[in-house]
Structure 1
Amino acid sequence: MSRRGWILFVAMCVVWGIPYLLIKVAVREVGPADLVFLRTALGAVLLLPIALARKELRASLRPWLPLLVYTAVEISLPWLLLSDAERYVDSSFTGLVIAGVPLVAAILARLTNRDEQLTAARVGGLLVGFAGVALLLGFHVGAAGPVPMLELVGVVVCYAIGPLVIERWLADVPRYGVAAASLVVGAVMFAPVAVPNLPDLARTVSPAPALAVLGLSVICTALAFVLFFALVAEVGGVRATVITFVNPAVAVILGWMVLGEDVTVLTGVAFVLILLGSVLATRRKAPARTPATTPAPVPTP
């Protein structure tokens, strides 16, 4: 990769590794629904001008039904479940469970596309990865209860469905338009519940949760979309997905350093199993080498 590609890659690993820490701080005083509304509304305010300037918003609204589904499974529902679960579990634990997204995505890809082959290596990767997730959930369910565990499983499933919706129905829709429109729709969904609570929040919330909400909205939402689209354009979509394997490590390190969360041998074993399983489960055969006399195809940005 180019130097710019590496800079964008490292930036994305950090930007999408810190939301779990910020959510943990924010939900101390901000309710889950209020947090999702503030994050989507502030993020939309920042991304809408970009989408409008690029004239991408109108095109993103035409496939309105897939857009609603994408908003529900990629933003509204997972962010709500994630915020509620983190009231009871550590941010580092959350980050490790979310690392199981590629495992579920591999299964869904096979169920929705017959060309996706589950080789012995990929099946083995699924078993290893899910063993790591089960190890985590099994040792934490007693302390936090089953509800947060089920919520995190729901987040993993939602995050695995989102890319499939993009690939099947929104692949040709401009990226900034989809991002801005989905944030607007998400804010509208939570406005009836959250808006009446805003005056009380403004009076009672302390600086740390307020800054966490601001960081989630500006850095982990608006800036994250801009950086991710730039990363995809620079290194391609396949390489860009590797950040999925690095984000959990960032979440664990930050949870340990900033919040004093426990990092045990179990944490390390589970992370290795999930990481190894995800890599094996998402591997594909290398494409056939193009003959020297045939010009290589130009990748579509």
Structure 2
Amino acid sequence: MTGAVHRTWAWMRVGVLALLWGSTFLWIELALDALTPVQVTISRCALGSAALLIACLGSGRRLPRDARTWGHLLVAAFFCNALPFAMFSIGQQTIDSGVAGVLNATTPLWSVLIGVLSHSERGLRPVRLGGLLLGFTGVVMIFAPWQMTGPVGWGAFAIVVGAASYAVGFAYIGHNLVGRGIPTISLSTAQLIAATGLTALTLPAGGLTPIEISPKTLIAVVILGVVATGATFHLTYRIIAAEGATNAATVGYLLPVVSVALGAIVLDEGLSPRIVAGMVVVLVGVGLTRRAERPPSVPALAEAPAAQVPSRT
């Protein structure tokens, strides 16, 4: 395969993943028409884990067996799946899907901040520091605490908590689940199974409400679980395996564009000048923190050993 063809396929894969990730917020919005946040969360975890379990067993792979790995997976499942999935569903009750997608893109900002606080960042460069401050300034512009009170304000806060939760989970996974010789499909499947178990514990908090679901909502829930959760969760690994972390990170820049576009086109969501300006500031800030970052060394993600880099929605 020539270099040009390889690059074309690489960008096509990145584009597909960005479309799938970015559409997550649309499917959540549609699912919330008939389901409670708890029901949306457990549905996407259960359907995603079922889809991956079929793929895992079909490929002849097995789930991890040792208790230590499952212990780490439970922690990862909480911070990378159960908590952020719940926060997005709660937040999107009052926040448009496009804005939710942009606030989700702040995860790299939280990752940098966690690195600084944990002293894992070696000498935060001025450009990255500027990007960090600029990015959070954009969040404040979108959040607008001087305007957004009550349900809307709490909705924006929930989305930000979900984005920060991803950053915590990534840091934990980097220390405890990377390069352990476990196939990527096994890790991703096991983590979503663990997330399903965790979210099942929240069923008494709105998960037992009677459901009257329309065909449109049912389709949205299935796509959210099987495609936007299960498929993207594993597709992320494959892109990193083929193109490395740099191309995978590019999805983070495209995701908000997709979520905003789908929200405006499909759901007719309006955007005020303040929110648009905040979105631009957030993306510029994220870009500065990523651009000044030295490319990390990424091990090959063959079937074994494998690195665990979870999905971000």
TM-score, shorter chain, exceeding 0.5: yes
Aligned residues: 290
Contact persistence 1:60–1:178 (CA under 8 A): no
Contact persistence 1:70–1:165 (CA under 8 A): yes
Q: 1:193 to 1:113 in 2, by over 3 A?
A: closer
Match of 1:33 among 16, 34, 38: 38
Match of 1:88 among 76, 94, 106: 94
Contact persistence 1:135–1:270 (CA under 8 A): yes
DSSP 3-state at the match of 1:116: coil
Percent identity of paired positions between Structure 1 and Structure 2: 27
Match of 1:186 among 191, 195, 202: 195
Q: 1:228 to 1:61 in 2, by over 3 A?
A: farther
Structure 2 runs not aligned, ≥5 long: 1-5, 302-313
**Is 2:16 the partner of 1:7?**
no
Residue aligning to 2:148: 141
Contact persistence 1:28–1:87 (CA under 8 A): no
Match of 1:161 among 154, 159, 168: 168
DSSP 3-state at the match of 2:291: coil
**Which amino acid counterpart does residue 240 of structure 1 have in structure 2?**
A
**Which amino acid counterpart does residue 103 of structure 1 have in structure 2?**
L
**Is 2:269 the partner of 1:261?**
yes
Q: 1:122 to 1:55 in 2, by over 3 A?
A: same
**Is 2:281 the partner of 1:273?**
yes
* 1:66-119 superposed Cα distances (whole Å, 9 cap, x missing partner): 211110001001111110111111111111111111111111123334453211
Contact persistence 2:241–2:300 (CA under 8 A): no
**Which amino acid counterpart does residue 158 of structure 1 have in structure 2?**
S
**Aligned partners of 1:60, 1:79: CA distance in 2, in Å?**
26
Q: 1:40 to 1:55 in 2, by over 3 A?
A: same
Larger relative helix fraction: 1
**Aligned partners of 2:35, 2:76: CA distance in 1, in Å?**
25
The structural deviation recorded for 1:142 is 3.6
The structural deviation recorded for 1:285 is 5.6
Residue range with higher mean Cα deviation, 136-145 or 34-43: 136-145
Q: 1:141 to 1:174 in 2, by over 3 A?
A: farther
The structural deviation recorded for 1:153 is 2.0
**Aligned partners of 1:114, 1:193: CA distance in 2, in Å?**
34
Structure 1 runs not aligned, ≥5 long: 288-296
Contact persistence 1:103–1:282 (CA under 8 A): no
* 1:131-167 superposed Cα distances (whole Å, 9 cap, x missing partner): 1110000076247443212212211210111211221
**Over the residues paired in the alignment, what is the CA RMSD in angstroms?**
2.4
Q: 1:158 to 1:193 in 2, by over 3 A?
A: closer
DSSP 3-state at the match of 1:171: coil
* 1:219-278 superposed Cα distances (whole Å, 9 cap, x missing partner): 101221232222111111222111111101110010000000002322331122111111
Residue aligning to 1:73: 79
Q: Which structure has the greater CA radius of gyration?
A: 1
